[in-house]
Structure 1
């Protein structure tokens, strides 16, 4: 049975992040958006402050601490705790959870596919950030002509002695410009589709590996999004995730792609956080300006709209928690992960649109509703990255149909 009640530690984490978001992050949110960066001093202080909340499970999820043998009677809470934190941080400012130092989206494929030596080498380097420099990892899959169509990637790789030579471009890579390494997906032969794909850890400073343009985005402006260019980039063979043996079947690539089953609920939780922020803003605006109990048709429409926003967001949150519960129990959750992502992106987008409409003609004016206008810009990408809403619906339908005996 799925348990929705928060543990004591999760409840404490949620309250601490709510307080931090309200009193520290929100007041600097607009400045970060205008300056297009999250202050490094804040990131370092946040990491120090959050040390007390990191269980072994959280450390495993965010820092790559080796997995310990777990008592089956005490299931992991890593994924669920992560989405609780993601929602609260995104409620304050969605650029914060995306900008946090650590291996980021690069961690799941390394953990799922990497050899023991690769995990120790590439994930272990993030354990000294309390005293040393901040570090980031990144995940490089999307290309100018291959986003949702993952099978269509064109970045090439060919073996040359003790190295692999990579050529291609990656785009919209979160923290790509400052990452100490990036997991890059390439293909030995585009005609093979997924069977030809390989995943490499490409380290910063590798000859032929350069950062292209840093994107000037509509939303999430405080988080870095970069283009990465590979021109005859020579990657040591030991940086091929899992080694060549892992790719003698399709399982090597499919294992790396299954990391979406963990990251999609995380992104969905961030969407819920933004949608909740817009919902609460509109709710408070209505409390201050209207008496919904009066028999006025417009007021009844506003009340109905608020109820609909709240209902959609709560449903999306429950889907997120179901997907992460399954992940923590090590139960396949591809369908549930896609459901949470599709529902949350849509619910939060509609929440921001409806909140602006509730606030009236001035809802998009920065002078009066600057945060609401910012959330409206931020939310759009949550129905795009980590797989568009349309792609999620394709995944869901395929999983449903595959379980039917006849169709």
Structure 2
């Protein structure tokens, strides 16, 4: 039976992640928001700490990949999916952009951890991997990818363009999604690990963004880029019956983690807003009906309820992954709810706090800017709702577009 409280065995991780978040990420949040594209050198030490936590048998607090392991044990498990999500909440309480900038904690690492074979796991261990999916003509519809991969002996030749690659400049590896056969549709979409410095793999620009300015967001062009055949993640065959479930398994693991990012930011905004309201004499009384309290207090209680619903959905999705249960529906529900709630909460907190929320006197205005990406990447709000509808109605992507 699922228990949506924080497991006792993870309390040490949560406490440590919060301390690091407070002393490193939150402390440097405004500095790197103002210094867009500057590398946060403070994170090198932090990355070493996370590596030590992983080597010691724990789970890091960054956006590291998680893997579902097969087991004959049918008992309830609280494993790496949930522990990683709990760590991410604490780290994003400090700063989302800095979390995304942590070495060896990229979303590409999640892709490798989700679908790589044992040899690939060992070969790419300890390296920082970004993930490249989006293209100029392909955003939310991953199946519309036009970057091609053509087999040539023991190599694949990749051609195409990728944009909005988080940590693309700083990472050692980039997991590139490409199609083996455009006519085969989704089934031909595969992911390839491309090492930085590979001929034909060119960084063309870094994006200037609304939020998460401390995180570099890159655009690449692939021109006859040759990649070893054994850098293809998962099954190399095109199976029309299976579709591209193999590469999409990555999202079942990473969408709850993005939801965790949103929950961490929303909690930070709520805590700061509570302090501001209480200092202004606003009494938030949980023993009184909402209709009998001030408008500010009633709004705050509503936001807390929205936050808690998102948190519980995220916990459920992560728990299901740990217990080897299909969680595509729950992962999308968690991502959709948390992404939307995070944006709503952060903007309302700015409104409730007036000039204090709108100026740089606090981090509230920054959190409001940072929040929007959490409703966009890893699948937009609209795409998540479409996936949820397909799952609930039993419709295929061809039947419900």
Assess, with a 3 A threshold, how the Cα gap between structure 1 residues 252 and 209 changes in structure 2: closer, same or farther: farther
Q: Structure 2 CA distance, aligned partners of 1:272 and 1:304?
A: 20
Structure-2 residue corresponding to 1:15: 15
1:72 shift after superposition: 4.3
Instruction: Determine which of 335, 338, 359 is the counterpart of 1:341.
Output: 335
Is residue 329 from structure 1 mapped to residue 323 from structure 2 by the alignment?
A: yes
Assess, with a 3 A threshold, how the Cα gap between structure 1 residues 64 and 143 changes in structure 2: closer, same or farther: same
Gaps of at least 5 residues in structure 2 are 286-290, 396-401
Pick the structure with more helix per residue. 1
TM-score in terms of structure 1 length: 0.87
Q: Structure 2 CA distance, aligned partners of 1:209 and 1:23?
A: 37
Q: Structure 1 CA distance, aligned partners of 2:190 and 2:75?
A: 37
Instruction: Determine which of 246, 251, 255 is the counterpart of 1:255.
Output: 246
TM-score in terms of structure 2 length: 0.89
Structure-1 residue corresponding to 2:382: 390
Q: Structure 1 CA distance, aligned partners of 2:103 and 2:66?
A: 13
Assess, with a 3 A threshold, how the Cα gap between structure 1 residues 55 and 333 changes in structure 2: closer, same or farther: farther
Is residue 152 from structure 1 mapped to residue 153 from structure 2 by the alignment?
A: no
Kept in 2: contact 1:83–1:266 (CA 8 A): yes
Instruction: Determine which of 266, 278, 301 is the counterpart of 1:275.
Output: 266
Q: Structure 1 CA distance, aligned partners of 2:305 and 2:328?
A: 24
What CA deviation, in whole Å up to 9, does each residue of 1:157-184 have, x standing for no partner? 2222332211111111111112222111
What CA deviation, in whole Å up to 9, does each residue of 1:87-136 have, x standing for no partner? 111011112321222262223433443333222212x2x0xxxxxxxx41
Q: Structure 2 CA distance, aligned partners of 1:231 and 1:55?
A: 42
Kept in 1: contact 2:65–2:113 (CA 8 A): no
For residues 1-150 of structure 1, what are the structure 2 equivalents within 5 Å?
Answer: 1-36=1-36, 37=38, 39-48=40-49, 51-52=52-53, 56=57, 58=59, 62=64, 71-73=73-75, 75-102=77-104, 104-122=106-124, 124=125, 126=126, 135-150=127-142
SS at match of 2:59: helix
Q: Structure 2 CA distance, aligned partners of 1:256 and 1:373?
A: 36
Q: Which sits farther off after the overlay, 324-333 or 21-30? A: 21-30
1:57 shift after superposition: 6.6
Is residue 162 from structure 1 mapped to residue 154 from structure 2 by the alignment?
A: yes
Assess, with a 3 A threshold, how the Cα gap between structure 1 residues 112 and 87 changes in structure 2: closer, same or farther: closer
Q: Structure 1 CA distance, aligned partners of 2:284 and 2:57?
A: 50
What CA deviation, in whole Å up to 9, does each residue of 1:279-307 have, x standing for no partner? 1111110110124389xx99711011100
Kept in 2: contact 1:349–1:379 (CA 8 A): yes
Instruction: Determine which of 270, 276, 280 is the counterpart of 1:289.
Output: 280
Q: Structure 2 CA distance, aligned partners of 1:252 and 1:57?
A: 35
Corresponding residue pairs, total: 388
Is residue 234 from structure 1 mapped to residue 231 from structure 2 by the alignment?
A: no
What CA deviation, in whole Å up to 9, does each residue of 1:253-288 have, x standing for no partner? 311111101100100111011111111111110110
SS at match of 2:294: helix
Structure-1 residue corresponding to 2:169: 177
Kept in 2: contact 1:137–1:180 (CA 8 A): yes
1:73 shift after superposition: 3.6
Assess, with a 3 A threshold, how the Cα gap between structure 1 residues 311 and 76 changes in structure 2: closer, same or farther: closer
Q: Structure 1 CA distance, aligned partners of 2:197 and 2:112?
A: 20
Q: Structure 2 CA distance, aligned partners of 1:258 and 1:250?
A: 16
1:142 shift after superposition: 0.9
Kept in 1: contact 2:187–2:243 (CA 8 A): no
1:50 shift after superposition: 6.6
1:189 shift after superposition: 3.0
1:152 shift after superposition: 0.9
Q: Which sits farther off after the overlay, 195-204 or 326-335? A: 195-204
SS at match of 1:387: coil
CA RMSD of the aligned region, Å?
A: 2.7
Structure-2 residue corresponding to 1:302: 296
Is residue 374 from structure 1 mapped to residue 366 from structure 2 by the alignment?
A: yes
Kept in 1: contact 2:21–2:90 (CA 8 A): yes
Q: Structure 2 CA distance, aligned partners of 1:64 and 1:120?
A: 15
